[in-house]
Amino acid sequence: MQIVLFTLVAAALYFFADWVLRTLEARRGAPFPNRSLLFLAIIMPLALIVFKLMEHLGPGM
């Protein structure tokens, strides 16, 4: 069950980070040149924070 929860959260983080990146690009009016690096810079801290919270809050995680 734990792996299913982590997978669902990872998918949600992916779509959220993609939404943030698309919003930033829409405000800028053009795609960023290093889009994948910016995506990584958005999703990595989010993943580390959320997974650490899940580890501390969930019993047996």
The answer to whether residue 11 is domain-embedded is no
Average the pLDDT over 40-50 and give the result. 96
In a domain, 58, yes or no: yes
User: Does 4 fall in a domain?
Assistant: no
Domain-embedded: residue 8: no
For the record, the structure tokens of 55 come out as 């580890």
- pLDDT recorded at residue 48: 95
Mean pLDDT of 25-39: 95
> What's the average model confidence in pLDDT over 5-22?
95
Please report the pLDDT score of residue 53 as a whole number: 92
Domain span including residue 49? 33-61
**Is residue 40 situated within a structural domain?**
yes
Structure tokens belonging to residue 19: 């939404």
3-class SS shares of the chain: helix, strand, coil, % to 5: 80, 0, 20
With vertex at residue 53, the alpha carbon angle to CA 47 and CA 56, rounded to the nearest 5 degrees, is 140
Total of domains in the chain: 1
Domain membership flag for residue 53: yes
Residue keyed to tokens 């990584």? 40
CA dihedral (49, 28, 15, 6) in degrees, to 10, reads: -10
